[in-house]
Amino acid sequence: MKLRGKISASMMCASLIDLKRDIHELEKAGVDYLHIDIMDGVFVPNLMLSNTFIKAVRSVTDLPLDMHLMIVQPENKIHWFDIRKGDYVSIHYESTSNVLGTLQMIEEAGGNPGVALSPATPVESLSYLLENLKLVNIMAVNPGFAGRAMVPMTLKKIADTRKFLDSHGRENTVLEVDGNVTFEHARLMRDAGADMFVGGSSGLFLDEYPIGVAAKKLYDCIK
């Protein structure tokens, strides 16, 4: 039986001014993880979040983190991060020639290793990594910015990934979807087999609803 879908709240979409307030609202709403996008301006054309940000977040919550590293050569920087038991840490398949070694480093640091795939990267890239993976992040947008439109073929890619994982005996590998998770897309992504949903500017941090209301609506779409 499938467990209810999980929400990982995209902290780059939270209020920097009222970060503490937003984190407490996310806790009250019962979100499962805080998604921390780390960008280096090289792997993606944007700079975002940092160790300092993680430190600030840790000072006000015990929620586990879901770090999404969009940086080149993450193997040289894993030791920069405050990784704790229960956190997910994902690197991009496209970001290093040493994917496996970096996943091993994450595990040694106490984290749950994950791989993120940009929209054009084939699912089969995961073939020889499955034993070392706790999570696969299927990007539904080109990485780097909040507020981008879903690349339509990623819905099929989510279904292909679920099939691929299940056919390799990896039913317990978490399938996360990141980018343009609206309420409507969340239902379709859920039907395609996703388990964890990044709530960003499309489905959680919305002008029309407070965080608690948006989270409830999003959970209704992914149960």
List residues with catalytic annotation: 37, 178
Nearer to ligand DX5 (CB atom), residue 68 or residue 157: 68
Nearer to ligand DX5 (CB atom), residue 10 or residue 96: 10
Contacts within 8 Å (CB) and 24+ apart, 51-57: 51/80, 51/81, 51/82, 53/11, 54/81, 54/82, 55/82, 56/19, 57/11, 57/19, 57/23
Record the tokens describing residue 176, joined without a space. Answer: 């996360």
- Total residues belonging to the chain: 223
- Does position 35 bind ligand DX5 by CB under 6 A? yes
- Does position 25 bind Zn ion by CB under 5 A? no
CA–CA distances in Å: residue 162 to residues 55, 207, 213: 34, 33, 29
- Does position 135 bind ligand DX5 by CB under 6 A? no
- Does position 113 bind ligand DX5 by CB under 6 A? no
Residues in 10-29 that interact with ligand DX5 by CB under 6 A? 10, 12-13
Say which entry of ligand DX5, Zn ion, none residue 138 contacts (CB below 5 to 8 A, set by partner kind).
none
Which residue sits closest to Zn ion, CB atoms considered? 68
- Does position 66 bind Zn ion by CB under 5 A? no
- Does position 178 bind Zn ion by CB under 5 A? yes
Nearer to Zn ion (CB atom), residue 193 or residue 199: 199
Binding site for Zn ion (CB under 5 A): 37, 68, 178
**Chain positions contacting ligand DX5, by CB under 6 A:** 10, 12-13, 35, 37, 68, 141, 143-144, 146-148, 178-181, 198, 200-202
